[in-house]
A and B are shown apart, each in its own frame.
Chain A
Amino acid sequence: MNLVEFESVTKRYRLGEVEVTALDSVDFAVRRGDFVAITGPSGSGKTTMLNLIGCLDSPTSGEIRVAGQPVSGLDDHALDQLRSRSYGIIFQNFNLVPVLTALENVMLPLYLHGLSKDERQHRASAALAAVSLTRFADFRPDQMSGGQRQRVAVARALVTEPKLILADEPTASLDTASALSLVDLMKELNTERRVTFVFSTHDQRLLQHVSRVVELRDGQLSGDDAPGAGVTGAALVQTGDSEVA
Chain B
Amino acid sequence: MWSMAFRNLYRDRRRTLATVIAVAAGLFAVLMFLAYIRFVESSLAAVVIYRDANAHVQVYRVDGPEQLAATPAQYSLDSADQALIHRALPELPHFLRASNQLVGVGVVQADADSAVFLARGIDPEFEAALQQHSPLAAPPPPVDGLLLTTQLQDLLGYPAQHSDLQLFGASYANRMNAIEAPLVGDFSTGIEAIEDKGLKAPLALLQSLYDTDAVSRVVVQLDDRMHSGNFRAQLAAELERQAPGRFEVTTWDHPQIGQLYTSFMGFFNMVFAFTGIVVFTIALTTIQHTVAMNVADRTREIGMLRSLGFGRGRIAGLFVRESLLTTLAAALVAAALAYAVIAALALAGVETQLPRIAEPAPLALQLPPLWAVIAIACAGAGIALGALLTARKRVGGEVRPGRRGVPLTQLLAAAGCLLLAVPLLSPAQAQTPPPMEEVAASRSPDEETMRAWLKQADLARGGWGSYQWKLRIHTEDPAGATDTDYDIAVRDGRALAMTTAPRRYRGEKILIASRAMWYAKPGLRKPVSISPQQRLVGEAANGDIAATQYARDYAPAYLGSADLDGTSCHKLKLTAASDSATYESIIYYLDKRNRLAVRAEFLTASGMPLKVAHFEYDNRVQIDGETRPFVSHMKIVNANFPERYSLLEYRRVAPADPPDSLFTVDTLMTL
Contacts and interface: CB of A to CB of B under 8 A. Distances in A.
Interface of A: 54, 56, 76-77, 80-85, 87, 89, 91, 93, 95, 97-100, 104, 108-109, 111-112, 156
A89 B308 contact: yes
A81 B311 CA distance: 9
Interface string B300-321: 1101111111111000000000
13 contacts: A56-B303, A80-B309, A83-B308, A84-B309, A84-B310, A87-B309, A89-B304, A95-B300, A97-B304, A98-B11, A99-B8, A104-B4, A109-B309
Given A98-B11, A99-B10, A77 B307 contact: no
Interface of B: 1, 4, 7-8, 10-11, 300-301, 303-312
Contacts of A98: 11
Given A95-B300, A97-B4, A108 B308 contact: yes
A56 B301 contact: no
A83 B11 CA distance: 28
A85 B308 CA distance: 9
A219 to B, nearest CB: 22
A95 B304 contact: yes
A95 B1 contact: no
A56 to B, nearest CB: 6
Given A99-B7, A99-B8, A100-B4, A93 B300 contact: yes
Given A95-B301, A95-B303, A99-B4, A109 B308 contact: yes
B308 A76 contact: no
A80 B301 CA distance: 16
B308 A56 contact: no
Nearest to A95: B304
Main secondary structure of the interface of A (DSSP, over half): helix
A97 B3 CA distance: 13
Given A95-B300, A99-B11, A100-B7, A112 B307 contact: no
A85 B303 contact: no
A83 B307 contact: yes
Per CB-CB distance, the 6 closest pairs between chain A and chain B, nearest first, are A84-B309, A99-B7, A95-B304, A83-B309, A89-B307, A80-B311
B308 A84 contact: yes
A99 B10 CA distance: 8
Contacts of B310: 80, 84, 112
A111 B306 contact: no
A113 to B, nearest CB: 9
B640 to A, nearest CB: 73
A97 B7 CA distance: 10
A98 B11 CA distance: 8
Nearest to A89: B307
A156 B309 CA distance: 13
A47 to B, nearest CB: 12
A77 B11 contact: no
Contacts of A97: 4, 301, 304
A50 to B, nearest CB: 10
A95 B301 CA distance: 6
A87 B4 CA distance: 23
The CB with the most chain A CB atoms within 10 A, among B8, B304, B307, is that of B307
Contacts of B311: 76-77, 80
The CB with the most chain A CB atoms within 10 A, among B1, B11, B306, B309, is that of B309
Contacts of B306: 56, 80, 83
A87 B307 contact: yes
B308 A91 contact: no
Contacts of B308: 83-84, 89, 108-109, 112, 156
A89 B307 CA distance: 7
B416 to A, nearest CB: 38
Nearest to B5: A99
A152 B300 CA distance: 17
A85 B309 contact: yes
B84 to A, nearest CB: 71
Nearest to A140: B7
Nearest to A83: B309
A164 to B, nearest CB: 12
Contacts of B305: 108
A99 B301 CA distance: 11
A112 B309 contact: yes
B309 A81 contact: yes
The CB with the most chain A CB atoms within 10 A, among B305, B308, B310, is that of B308
Given A76-B312, A95-B301, A56 B307 contact: yes
B400 to A, nearest CB: 14
A74 to B, nearest CB: 13
A54 B308 CA distance: 10
Contacts of B7: 99-100
B8 to A, nearest CB: 6
Contacts of A95: 300-301, 303-304
A104 B8 CA distance: 14
Contacts of B312: 76
A62 B212 CA distance: 100
Nearest to B1: A111
Contacts of B300: 91, 93, 95
A109 B308 CA distance: 6
A54 B309 CA distance: 10
A99 B13 CA distance: 13
A111 B306 CA distance: 13
Contacts of A54: 307
Contacts of A87: 307, 309
Contacts of A85: 309
Nearest to A113: B309
A79 B661 CA distance: 114
Nearest to B298: A97
Contacts of B303: 56, 95
B6 to A, nearest CB: 9
A13 to B, nearest CB: 12
A108 B10 CA distance: 19
A223 to B, nearest CB: 27
A54 B304 CA distance: 12
Given A56-B303, A82-B309, A84-B308, 13 more contacts: A56-B306, A76-B312, A77-B311, A80-B309, A80-B310, A81-B309, A83-B307, A89-B304, A95-B301, A97-B301, A97-B304, A108-B305, A111-B1
The CB with the most chain B CB atoms within 10 A, among A76, A81, A99, is that of A99
Contacts of A112: 308-310
Nearest to A85: B309
A109 to B, nearest CB: 5
Contacts of B301: 95, 97
Nearest to B300: A95
A112 B311 CA distance: 10
A28 to B, nearest CB: 20
A89 B7 CA distance: 24
Contacts of B309: 80-85, 87, 109, 112
Nearest to B308: A109
A109 B305 CA distance: 8
A89 to B, nearest CB: 4
Contacts of A104: 4
A148 to B, nearest CB: 17
A83 B308 CA distance: 6
A133 to B, nearest CB: 18
Contacts of A76: 311-312
Contacts of B4: 97, 99-100, 104
Contacts of A109: 308-309
